[in-house]
Amino acid sequence: MENVMLRDVIVDDLPIFFEQQKDMTANFMAAFTTKDPADKVAFKAHWEKILNNEAIIKKTVIFNEKVAGHVSSFEQFGEREVSYWIGREYWGRGVATKALSQFLDCITIRPLYARAVKDNIASIRVLEKCGFEIKGEDKGYSNARAEEVEEYILKLS
């Protein structure tokens, strides 16, 4: 039986997150990524900040006893947002939806916001299945695409 669960992020998860971050297809879909996904020094510095910031709620996604990705909530643009990253080998299996749904059960802060590039239909569907609604649009520079892209702003009331 396929099982999704969340647990606190531990340092041993980081090498898996780093490998997932280097996936160019995943970077393209996420759009708003680091300038150089293969830069291990920048990755470590970024995650050190995340791990040391108690205001960021972060969980590792476990699927069938393997690290499948992570989900987090943080403040951005003056609002509380959620974000997730699921390794590509787990796409299309309901992992993101189950993980985000479990995360939202634990996070009682509302409203919550999320952002997704307009052509990332799968991520938009995950967010909608979890109760988010498209409330606006924005544009931003995508490192992964090396151009400005349009995104939806979604809200969970």
Residues spanned by the domain of 33 = 4-156
Give the pair of three-digit tokens for residue 129.
């299945």
Q: Residues 4-53: pLDDT tens digits? A: 999 999 999 999 999 999 999 998 888 888 889 999 999 999 999 999 99
User: The domain that contains 109 carries what CATH number?
Assistant: 3.40.630.30
Per-residue pLDDT band for 77 (boundaries 50, 70, 90) equals confident
Provide the domain count of the chain: 1
Q: Is the preceding omega at residue 37 within 30 degrees of 0, hence cis?
A: no
87, 119 contact by CB (below 8 A): no
- Residues 110 and 59: their CA atoms lie apart, in Å, by 18
Q: What is the pTM assigned to this prediction?
A: 0.94
Helix (H, G, I), strand (E, B) or coil at 123: helix
